[in-house]
Amino acid sequence: MATCALIVNLSGQDVIAPQVAASGAACTSLVVLSADEYANWQNNPLNLSGSDGLLISAAVIGVWGAAFGWRALARTLNIGDGDSTSE
């Protein structure tokens, strides 16, 4: 279970101490996770870094660009297939 915590300076050394909060109050400082919670958070497929998100967005834009190019090529090649008459 995640626990609210504070960084407290005891005898010149910083330590993490549990935050005493009223029931139902949100954490105002740190949230400490258990080992299982951290492992589940790390394995979340939606947990992306900025570079991962940029890579995925570039791939999506690339696929859209390729589709646009193929569509434009297909339209160009089909221009002469209409009902135009040549004299």
User: Residue 62 and residue 60: Cα distance in Å, rounded?
Assistant: 5
User: Residue 44 and residue 77: Cα distance in Å, rounded?
Assistant: 46
pLDDT higher for 64 or 17? Answer: 64
- Its pTM stands at 0.45
Structure tokens at 72: 């434009």
Instruction: Report pLDDT digits (tens) over 35-75.
Output: 888 777 777 777 888 898 999 999 999 999 999 999 999 99
User: Residue 6 and residue 21: Cα distance in Å, rounded?
Assistant: 11
Supply the pLDDT for residue 82. Answer: 58
